[in-house]
Every structure is written in C-alpha cells, then in structure tokens.
A and B are shown apart, each in its own frame.
Chain A
C-alpha cells in the first residue's frame, strides 16, 4: 500500500499530487523540447535515410538489370532471326540451284515442243490444191442447150459422169487432207499438255521462291527492328519468350513423366546388374542411381544427336564442326542411342521375368494354388514393356528441343521476374522510409501536444514582445513545428 502511493507528493490528495506531477513533467518536457525534437527528427532521418537510399539503389539496380535483360533479349532475338534468315537463304539457294540447274534442259524441252507445235501448225495451214479450171468449163457446158439431139445428150451424159467421178475424187482428196490435219492436231495435244505442265511447274517454283522471298522480307523487317532496338521488337520478343517458357515447361513436365516411367521400367532389373543390396544413402539404392544414370546418358545422347543434326544449338562447338565430323557424331550418337534402347528393352523383359519369379516364390511360400497361365494374353504386358523400353529413349532424345527453349527463355523470364522482385523490394523500402519520416513528424506533434500549456504561454509572451497577433505567431509555429 505504501509502495503504491510512494509517488504521491501529498499522499492524502491524489488529484493534487497528479496535477503537481503533471505540471512538473510538463515543465521538464518543455525545457527538453528542443533537444527532444532534434532527437525525434534525427531518429526519423536515421531510419528514413538508409531506407530511401536502399530504395533508390534498388530502383537503379532494377533499371540496370532491365537494360541488361533488354540487351540480352535483343541479342538473342537478333541471333534467332539471323539464323532463320540464314536458313531461309539457304533454302532459297538450294531451290534456285536445283531449279536453275534444270533450267537449260527445261528451256530446250520447251523450244523443242514449241518448234514441233509450229511445224504442226504450218502443216495444218497447208491448203489442199484449188479446184481445177474445169469448174468453169462445167458451168459453160451446163448452159449448152441439148435441143433434143441424141449425140449432144450423150456427150453431156459422159461429161456429167466424168465430172461426177472427178468430183468424188476431189471430195475424197479433201477429206483425206482434213483427216491428216486432224491427226496432226491430235498428235500435238500431248505437246500442249507438256507445255502446260512445264509452265505450271515453273509457276509453282516461282511461287515458292516468292514465298521464301516474302518470309525473308518479314524476317529482315524484324531483324531491322531488333537492330534498331525498337520497343515493339522488344515487346514481341519478350512475349515470345514467355510463351516459349510456358510451352517448354509443359513439354518438359511431360518428358519428366516419361523419364519416370522409364526409370520404373529399368530400376528393378538394374539391381540384377549392380546388385540390389548396395545403398548410397539410407534409402537410395545403387541400382536406382544406375537406372537414373542410364536415363541421363540416353538424354545426353539425344542432346548430342539433336545438336549434330543442327536441330538445337546449345553447344556452339558442335555447330561449328566440319561436315565430316558432324556426320560421324550423328552416327555415333544414334548408334549409342539404339544400343541403349536395345538394353532398355532387354531390361524391361528382365523386369517382367523377375516379377514373375518373385510372384511364383511368394505363391509357393503362401502355399496357395498357382494362378492359371493366361497364354498369349499374359505376354501382352511383357511385349508392351519391351516396346516402351525401346521407344522411350528415342522419345527422351527429343527433350533437347524443349530444353533449349527452356534454357533460352528462362533467362528472359527469370530476368524479368527478378527485375519485378527488385522493384517491389524498392517500393517497400520507399514506403517504409516515408512511414519513418511521417512517424517522426507525428511524434513531434504529439510531443508538443503534451506541453501545450507552456507553449501557449510562450506564444503569448512572443506576441506581446513582437507586437504581432498571437494568431500570426501560431501560424508561423504551425508552418515550422518545433520552432516557435
């Protein structure tokens, strides 16, 4: 009880004691106002200053990183577009070489056909010999009056017969001539078709060339944009990188599933090769690691194969190999891959045999009846496992393609995310710096609130001394707290 009231100046009068202590505290706080304000301000600055500095540094770092990311992205884009243009030119080159090589033959063929058609045309243009002059003679004879003379009649009959005979002969001649022309025209039909076909072929090739030229134009436009460091090009490349990254992640996840199935297929039979009782860690068997190594070696072989085939470009050294060495690498990788696939198929078969053996043992230990043999149906899983074992290494080989996309796009995506992270951190630091600064101001005002009575007294005294109204003096004080 005594302890509880020890702070009281007048133990019997709590209110008076409190009031007195408050007055003493107020006077003490008023006296310490200037150093306390300084302390609060300094503390505020001590927190806010480094935080602002940190925020500024992080913003600057983020800007630098963004610039670097941009440079890397544009360089990657330039390289990719450059490669595409190079390949397009290569294609066009092959196309032009192939087509131009055959062009003299084509031209000769066309000329021959055209000459032939011209000849045929000329032949068709040869008119049959004109009718003889006897037509006019016949007309003249027709005007002769018989006069009922028998001799004249006879002569005229003979003339008529002769004319008819000659007419029939002429008609036959005409028909034969026309038949010949028809035959010639009929014979020239394949040549027309040949010309049509050849011209279509030329047209198709020209269209192909035109398309390639258009593609090159589009790629060149892109290349120019990248070279000019245009924002549009950066935006397109960035979006493309994000899309590539997502696709690559999905495909790699699928590939990982395939690798897991592959692992399950060969982990058990590998114990037959390296032993089932060897452990690397408490739960990791050597056989499992060996199976994993086999799968990784297969993936590596696939990578080398894809690289040698110039489908991927992860190793610049392989890309710059000469043609002979590159072909050798293709064959070596392929042979190793086929060998590993064969080993996997054999291991898959062994796995099936081991499981069957274990099953038989367990059945004999359980002293139950043996399961009936399902005949050829029982062979389906075995065959399936063997086929899977053979196919999966080749399927895994193609992982190189999404892996390349993943690696290249991960730089852009990772860099972009890192920039965002640094910016977010800078923002948080800036918010904290502002918070510290405003908190120090709030504390200053709160301090002044505690010593409001002495401050009012000071205000009155100052106004009396300066002759200004207390309102003006207060307004000045509000503008600069702590400087009354």
Chain B
C-alpha cells in the first residue's frame, strides 16, 4: 500500500512537471529585430551597431529570438536579414548560438558598404513579419539609423503599416548636417516617425541616443 502511494506520488510529480513543461512558453519570450542602417555616411557608425548587438547577445536568454537586418535601397526582403537565431532552451547551446551569431555579425560589419537609399519602412514591415512569426510575448524593433528615409522613385511605402503590440526603439539617431542648421528638422523627423509608428499600433516608441543607456531597451518607459 505504502509502495503504491509512493509510486503514485512520484507519478503525480512527474506528470506535474510534464504538464508544466507543456505550458506555452512563447508568451514569456522576447524577440528583437534590429535594423542597421548602412546607407551613406551612417555606415561609419557600424562600430556602435556592434556594441548594441553584443549587448543584446549578452542580455537575451534561452528561448528569445534575435535578428539583425540591414536597411538599404529596398529592405522588405528576407535577403536583408544578416543573421537570425532563436536561442536554444539549453543555456549551453544558447551560448554557442550567440558565439556563432557574433562571428557572423563581425564578418558583416567588417565588410559593410554604404547604399544609396534608406528604406526604413520596408525594414519595419519585414521586422514586424518576422516578430509576429516568432510568436514571442514581447516584440521589439530596434532601428539603428538617423531616421532619414530616402526612397527611389519606384519604391512605394506611403501606405498604412501594422506594428501592433510591437515596441519600436530608435537607437543612435544622429543629427544630419541640416539638422544642426535647423534643429526643428531633427525634432520634426522624430515626431513624424513617432506618429507613424504609434499610428501603426506600436505599443511604445522610444529614442535612445546614449549608447551607455542600452538597458533602457528592455525597460518600460
């Protein structure tokens, strides 16, 4: 009788653990999609992009996802994704994935070349698609850019986009030469993006220019 009770208790414990393991864990996962602007003079900021990626690699946990894509002439394409990974549930494997990710990014940032145009909107649409596919509970798009969108004549991006439940954070938004002459241009550019992003249903819009304050990426404002 005692043995039976003992075995039954072990079974219950095992089942509890098994059932607990079946609970959908994606809702607690964090997915980050980082857009790296490689257009014109901004390509020179690649070193700072490396710092941010390293910070993300050090902060994201097992089960989280990370993708880094470049922003160029037209960015609504999977081909623009330089590296992506969903970190393994096992911490040791996740660490190995992070090392591989870093190596891939190092290789890309060494050979980065400037593009003529900057399609941020296309990158946002691509990022939203990627993030929604991950099914993560927390979704963040990081835009490493001066937020000056420049499109060629045939590219169409002036339509409503959907960024529902996605946090959008602009990082290292550098001032252009013209911004220094008239700061309203810079502020107006940021305001316009904020309106567009919030209008698209984003849960949050944030600008982080200080690279030392990267912890704000994961903190709610």
Contact = CB atoms under 8 A, between A and B. Distances in A.
Contact of A268 (B23, B91, B102): B91
Given A290-B17, A354-B92, A364 B2 contact: no
Contacts of B83: none
Interface in A244-290: 268, 271-272, 274-280, 282, 286, 289-290
A274 B57 contact: no
Interface residues of A, number: 34
Contact of A276 (B2, B58, B62, B98): B62
B63 A275 contact: yes
B17 A321 contact: no
Contact of B91 (A271, A279, A321): A271
Given A272-B92, A277-B29, A365 B2 contact: no
Nearest to A301: B6
A271 B21 CA distance: 11
- Please indicate which of the listed interface residues A297, A317, A318, A365 has the most CB atoms of chain B within 10 Å of its own CB: A365
A26 B63 CA distance: 85
B21 A358 contact: no
Interface string A287-305: 0011001001100100010
B9 interface: yes
B54 A289 contact: no
B77 interface: no
A276 B99 contact: no
Given A276-B91, A361-B58, A293 B23 contact: no
> Which secondary structure dominates chain B's binding surface?
helix
Q: How many B residues touch the partner, as a band?
A: 20 to 34
Nearest to B1: A317
Contact of A365 (B54, B64, B90): B54
B90 A271 contact: yes
A362 interface: yes
A274 B17 CA distance: 9
Interface string A78-101: 000000000000000000000000
A361 B99 contact: yes
A282 B1 CA distance: 39
A289 B28 CA distance: 16
Interface in B24-60: 25, 27-29, 54-55, 57-58
A295 to B, nearest CB: 12
24 contacts: A271-B91, A274-B21, A275-B21, A275-B89, A276-B61, A277-B64, A277-B87, A278-B63, A278-B89, A279-B28, A280-B20, A286-B20, A286-B21, A289-B16, A293-B16, A297-B13, A317-B2, A357-B91, A358-B95, A361-B98, A361-B99, A362-B58, A365-B98, A367-B54
The 3 nearest A-B residue pairs measured at CB: A277-B63, A275-B89, A276-B62
Interface of A: 268, 271-272, 274-280, 282, 286, 289-290, 293, 296-297, 300, 304, 315, 317-318, 321, 329, 353-354, 357-358, 361-362, 364-367
Interface of B: 1-2, 6, 9-10, 13, 16-17, 20-21, 23, 25, 27-29, 54-55, 57-58, 61-64, 87, 89-92, 94-95, 98-99, 102
